[in-house]
Chain A
Amino acid sequence: MNIKEKIIEKGLLFCALLTILTTLGIIAVLVIQSVSFFKEVSFLDFITDTEWTPLFSNKHYGILPLFAGTFLTTFIAILVAVPIGLIIAIYLSEYAPKKLRNILKPALEVLAAVPTVVYGYFALVYVTPFLQNIFPSLSGFNSLSPGLMMGIMILPLVSSLSEDALYAVPKFLKEGSFALGATKFQTAWKVMVPAAFSGIAVSVILAISRAIGETMIVAIAAGQQPRLTMNPLVPVETATTYIVQVSMGDVPHDSIEYKTIFAVGMSLFVFTLVLNNISFWLKKRYQETYN
């Protein structure tokens, strides 16, 4: 009995350590390869050069065009997901009868379970041609339609987590507002949303992280042309798409071209790490407010 317990305990510990080690290993590879990349390319060029052409003969290593692509698609996705997600969250927690909520919430979460390749394909084959009716200048590859699809993909992340946050607001706060003659909408908007603010912000940050890291949709529908632009109608390339493009290509493994993907990966990693820390901090503050 005692030995059995010990084995289980050690086994669990082993699994936990394995996860941590794997993560550390990945970070180590990222760091080592990035360091060797920055021995050949100046960091200043990397963050200020406005062209990204490591695969051409006239090489430029400016990350900005890739970040522009990532930023633009993410921005469009957030523009879709946050307002709609928040409206859905408010509807589900404040207006919908309990039964309806218990059906709608899981139904929405299915959206997040759709394989992203489906969204990408849908963006390329249906959404872009449809949008071309509205914007005739829209290219076959662009950031608008994958951005929109990505917004729908991360919608349940925002709506579900925001709804959780709204639901967790103490009931007596809501009653306090109603007791002063406030309407349902006033209560939801002026008391519940501010009270759940940190939780909602966390959901938005997670959604941003998810959108920044999303690969398939943008790789399929946004194009592979690094371009420093804020125009949603033209082809771009996101950081993630670039990594896919190079890792699936046939560049030699010791070359500087190959190392670029680690430098790009490292930049993405730093970005999401910062976002994660913000959300962690917000969560902590949130818990303090209601204790």
Chain B
Amino acid sequence: MKIEAKNVNFFYGPDQVLRDISMSIKKNTVTALIGPSGCGKSTFLRLFNRMNDLIETAKLEGEILIDGVDIYNKNINVNELRKTIGMVFQKPNPFPKSIFENVAYGMKVNGITDKSIIEESVEESLKQAALWEEVKDKLKKSAFALSGGQQQRLCIARALAVKPSVLLMDEPASALDPISSIKIEELIYQLKASYTIMIVTHNMQQASRTSDKTAFFYMGELVEFDDTRTLFTNPKKERTQNYITGRFG
């Protein structure tokens, strides 16, 4: 198993937002996390790159394993860990730098100084994120000059440039127009060959189109976790059935 969560409980101060969650994810698969707003999807996703560490009141019980290693172990270097786990956020968040510098940033902060290596990786990452053709002539331009959809693909390229093995995506297409959104979906499909992907989405079609497995969360609990097709056509729990048919949430 590439990723495992074992009996995870999670608290913000006194509030428990995740309850006894266990889940195993295979290498090179796409897992969709769905569920109503506030059910804990983002919180769960952010456990895998220890993003919740930034919140002072956060507390975790249970284990998160990646490649069999407990990433909350005391010996783990968080910065090294985050290099291997890429993350794409809901709102495109390019840095106030040029397109090139945005993609090069992850390499530079990780001590890579060789210019030709950086240039090569920038090009490769932008190609992987299907953005190269659109930006190759304006790499020195500010990233803010790109459209929202382009900015989001830039953020994906930025994450890929540090060569992670896992990609965490929190509603990566929710701020985008339908065409950009489809582009991101196609991208996810292609990236699956080299990465293990977890994606939070509110869009049922998106979940069913992009993912192999789907996890349905409700009020901090993992209600159902199954093959995407099974979960959408033949859910075992009534809650799941109600949610995917749009009866609540």
Binding site for B on A (CB under 8 A): 97-98, 170, 172-183, 186, 190-191, 194-195, 197, 289
Q: How far is the CB of B160 from chain A (nearest CB, A)?
A: 11
- B158 at interface by CB-CB < 8 Å: yes
> Residue B183 at the A interface, CB < 8 A?
no
Take A190-B109, A195-B96 as given contacts and tell me if A181 and B91 are in contact as well, using a CB distance cutoff of 8 Å: no
**B24 near A: Cβ within 8 Å?**
no
Choice from A98, A172, A175, A190 contacting B105 with Cβ under 8 Å: A190
Total interface residues on B, CB under 8 Å, equals 28
B83 touches A180 (CB 8 A): yes
Task: For residue A283, give the distance in angstroms from its CB to the closest CB of chain B.
Answer: 16
Note all chain A residues with C-beta closer than 8 A to B159: 179-180
Contact of A177 among B85, B90, B91, B105 (CB under 8 A): B105
B95 touches A191 (CB 8 A): yes
Residue B189 CB within 8 A of the other chain? no
Given A175-B54, A289-B144, CB of A180 within 8 Å of CB of B109: yes
User: In this complex, which of B86, B93, B97, B105 has the most chain A Cβ atoms within 10 angstroms of its Cβ?
Assistant: B93
A173/B109 in contact, CB under 8 A: no
Chain A residue, CB-CB nearest to B49: A179
Q: Say how far B62's CB is from chain A's closest CB, in angstroms.
A: 22
The A/B interface has a contact count, at CB < 8 Å, of: 74
Sample (7) of A-B pairs whose CB atoms are under 8 Å apart = A170-B93, A180-B86, A180-B109, A181-B80, A181-B82, A190-B105, A194-B95
Q: CA A268 – CA B81 in complex, angstroms?
A: 55
Q: Quick check: B155 and A176 within 8 Å, CB to CB?
A: yes
Roughly how many angstroms separate A196 CA and B105 CA in the complex, as a whole number? 18
Is the contact region of chain A dominated by helix, strand, or loop, or is it mixed? helix
Which residue, of A175, A178, A181, has the highest number of chain B Cβ atoms within 10 A? A181
Find B82's partner among A174, A178, A197, A289 (CB 8 Å cutoff).
A178
A175 & B51 in contact (Cβ 8 Å cutoff) = yes
Residues from chain B with a CB closer than 8 A to the CB of A181 are 79-83, 106, 109-110, 162
Q: Does B89 contact A (CB under 8 A)?
A: yes
CA distance A170 to B93 in the complex (A): 9
Could you tell me if B51 and A178 are in contact, using CB atoms closer than 8 angstroms? yes
In the bound complex, residues from chain A placing their C-beta under 8 Å from that of B83 are 180-181
Query: Which one of A170, A180, A190 lies within 8 Å of B158 (CB-CB)?
Result: A180
Which residues from chain A contact B81 at a C-beta distance below 8 Å?
181
Q: Which 10 A-B pairs have the closest CB atoms?
A: A181-B83, A180-B106, A179-B87, A182-B109, A181-B82, A176-B93, A172-B93, A181-B79, A186-B109, A195-B96
Q: Which residue, of A98, A175, A180, A194, has the highest number of chain B Cβ atoms within 10 A? A: A180
A-contacting residues, B48-63, CB 8 Å: 49, 51, 54, 56
CB distance from B170 to the nearest CB of A (A): 10
Contact A179 B86 (CB under 8 A): yes
Q: B79: nearest residue on chain A (CB-CB)? A: A181
Q: How far is the CB of B229 from chain A (nearest CB, A)?
A: 31
Known A-B contacts A181-B80, A191-B95; A176 and B89 likewise in contact (beta carbons under 8 Å): yes
Which among B82, B155, B159 has the highest number of chain A CB atoms within 10 Å?
B82
Which residues in A have their C-beta under 8 angstroms from that of B109? Answer: 177, 180-183, 186, 190
Q: Is the CB of A197 within 8 A of B96?
A: yes
Closest chain B residue, CB of each to CB of A170: B93
CB-based contact A179/B82 at 8 Å = yes
Whether A176 touches B96, Cβ cut-off 8 Å, given contacts A182-B109, A190-B105, is no
CA distance A281 to B106 in the complex (A): 32
Choose one: B82, B90, B95; the contact of A173 (CB below 8 Å).
B95
Which of chain A's residues has its CB closest to B53's CB? A178
Residues of A within 8 A of B158 (CB): 176, 180
Q: Most B CB atoms within 10 A — which of A179, A191, A195?
A: A179
Complex Cα gap A195–B155 (Å): 16
Selected from B54, B144, B155, the residue in CB contact (under 8 A) with A178 is B54
With A175-B54, A178-B51, A178-B54 given, is the CB distance from A183 to B79 under 8 Å? yes
